[in-house]
Amino acid sequence: MNSPIYDKQTLRLCSNNTADLITAANILKRGGLVALPTETVYGLAANGLSSAAIEQVFRAKNRPLVNPLIFHVTDQNQALKLFNFDGNDRRTLRRFSRLASTFWPGPLTIIAKKADYIPGLATAHLDTVAVRIPHNQVTTKIIKECAVPLVMPSANLSTRPSPTSAFHVLATLDGRIDAVLDDGRCQVGIESTVVRIDLEQVKILRPGMIDRHAISLCLNETIEDNFSSNNNKPSCPGQAYLHYSPAINSVKTCLPSDAHCRWQSEDMFLARRKDFLALEKQMGPRPTATTNFVLQDEAKFYASELYDALYACESYMHKNLIIVLPQETDSSWTAIIDRLIKSGGIKANQHSNDRKH
């Protein structure tokens, strides 16, 4: 794909203004792109049944065409129409009904065989489709008003962290999209759990804040963790390349026990409060001019603050970030640790293309 010049006037719309909701829906109806809030992260919405609109999403995000999109709907029937459950596949249908009834609207994306009419571009020509009902009133209103499912990848340039505020959306997509609908901060803060249900064993392809334990309890089955930070094999096409990375010099992850050697350096630190305080007790205060992102101890709150910290550290684009990994085996931390590991390990200049935009 050629990279067009981007000089759109990106409209700033406000979720408590009815006229702005109508404007957002009208832009989507005529094939445009609007960043919409969800409970997880902001998504870049487009008409999911229009190949032309879907193509614009890939272009605006600079997203590889091999990375499929998630369809967002407002009720289970609308979701069922996107799937093609073989008449005999009762097991998949039973799993769908249980998961959808338990977790929707909410941060769970369900993957199964797709219906034939779905544009191939949206699913990277796979035979499956990803669907979820987001938990956000204004976005639900807009999907209903559009009367079509909306595709919504996270509203960021490819490789960068997902946005949890309209401000983050504009940090990478200002001028590249038609509008952003500001609805304040996203509560969950990291992307939905992605689960594939049409195979012998249900697989988690991307961990999220609905963890394996909760899905296993809902389905009364054992669930396989099948994501790349767990087994090094990308199972979601989108997990195969650089992700969740702030545009700074470098990001490195380490365990609390290995954090000592950089403690007195100029590097930025991102750590959980209890790990930061333990290091401070042992090593003394960090140099005064350094920047530290100290996140809350509870997984739920840590997740909701994480991407805000990653965007904040972009103010220091020539610096390095050291992420102190929480040493937790509890499944409530799995998704967070997955994102931290993926955002780590980037080299200087890897973002040089992004900065041109």
Q: Report the DSSP beta bridge partners of residue 203.
A: 196, 224
Does a cis peptide bond (omega within 30 degrees of 0) precede residue 105? yes
Closer residue to ligand TXA in complex, CB, 128/292: 128
Interface contacts to ligand TXA, rule CB under 6 A: 38, 40-41, 43, 67-70, 107, 109, 111, 123, 126, 128-130, 134, 152-154, 191-192, 194, 205-206, 236-239
Binding-site partner at residue 205 among Mg ion, ligand TXA, none, CB < 5 to 8 Å by type: ligand TXA
Closer residue to Mg ion in complex, CB, 92/159: 159
Cα→Cα distances 131→34, 63, 115, 297, Å: 19, 19, 12, 31
Closer residue to ligand TXA in complex, CB, 67/76: 67
Closer residue to ligand TXA in complex, CB, 41/73: 41
Least gap, CB of 153 to Mg ion (angstroms): 5
Residue 22, amino acid: I
Helix (H/G/I), strand (E/B), else coil: 338: helix
Tell the residue number behind the tokens 């900065």, with chain if given.
355
- What secondary structure letter does DSSP report for 80? H
Interface contacts to Mg ion, rule CB under 5 A: 154
Q: Which residue minimizes CB distance to Mg ion?
A: 154
CB count in 10 Å sphere of residue 336: 24
Least gap, CB of 234 to ligand TXA (angstroms): 9
CA distance 215 to 38: 21
Closer residue to ligand TXA in complex, CB, 110/323: 110
Q: Which residue minimizes CB distance to ligand TXA?
A: 238
Residue 72 — φ and ψ, nearest 5°? -115, 130
Binding-site partner at residue 313 among ligand TXA, Mg ion, none, CB < 5 to 8 Å by type: none
Least gap, CB of 53 to Mg ion (angstroms): 18
CA distance 25 to 349: 38
Binding-site partner at residue 204 among ligand TXA, Mg ion, none, CB < 5 to 8 Å by type: none
